[in-house]
């Protein structure tokens, strides 16, 4: 398995099955254009390499992160989404992706990284804990939807 940063829209689309919904062109281009938005893919090394490197390795997982900065805190990484293809689960792909994003956050000077997780999502909780996350207490997530 190899983990690479994705910076090309065509490569995003190659991993379309890793997302909740198919990536749209407008959102993909907007995401990739922002230097503080990060997308990493894990590739199955059974192929010849990724499209990024000229081969055909299959994307088997992805993690996205967004740097957020606040005047009194500095910059931290928000782990936005994590996904692993069903055929690649329970092989350490998710933990490797989270650790890779944490390494990138540290390299970029972030003081920390965080993720919101549903308390009944045992697989996600176990993954993040294996990747070094510590519990910081429970919280309620409230949201707005705009049409």
CATH of the domain at 102: 3.40.630.30
pLDDT the model gives residue 99: 98
- Cβ atoms of 12 and 39 within 8 Å: the answer is yes
Give the tens place of pLDDT for each residue, 39-63.
Answer: 999 999 765 444 444 567 889 999 9
CA 20-136-76 angle, 5° bins: 65
In this prediction, residue 70 carries a pLDDT of: 96
Q: Does residue 10 lie in a domain region?
A: yes
* The predicted structure's pLDDT at residue 51: 45
Q: Is the dihedral of CA 26, 51, 41, 38 positive or negative?
A: negative
Judge whether 144 lies within some domain: no
Q: Please state, rounded to an integer, the average pLDDT across all residues of the chain.
A: 92
Over pLDDT 70: what percentage of the chain? 93
| 147 domain residue, yes or no | no
Please check whether residue 90 lies inside any domain of the structure: yes
pTM exceeding the 0.95 threshold for the entire prediction: no
Domain membership of residue 139 (yes or no) is no
pLDDT of amino acid 55: 60
How many domains does the chain contain in total?
Answer: 1
Domain that holds residue 32: 2-130
Residue 146 belongs to some domain of the structure: no
58: phi then psi, degrees, rounded to nearest 5: -90, 130
- 137 in a structural domain: no
- pLDDT above 90: residue 106: yes
| Within a domain: 143 | no
């Amino acid at each position: 398995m190899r983990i690479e940063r994705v910076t090309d829209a065509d490569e995003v689309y190659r991993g379309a099955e890793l997302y909740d919904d198919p990536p749209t062109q407008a959102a993909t281009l907007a995401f990739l254009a922002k230097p503080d938005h990060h997308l990493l893919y894990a590739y199955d090394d059974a192929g010849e390499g990724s499209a990024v490197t000229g081969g055909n390795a299959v994307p088997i997982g992805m993690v996205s992160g967004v740097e957020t900065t606040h005047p009194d805190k500095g910059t931290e990484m928000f782990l936005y989404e994590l996904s692993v293809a069903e055929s690649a689960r329970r092989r350490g792909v998710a933990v490797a992706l989270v650790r890779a994003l944490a390494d990138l956050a540290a390299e970029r000077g972030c003081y920390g990284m965080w993720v919101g997780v549903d308390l009944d999502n045992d697989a996600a909780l176990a993954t993040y804990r294996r990747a070094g996350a510590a519990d910081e207490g429970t919280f309620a997530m409230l949201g707005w939807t705009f049409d």
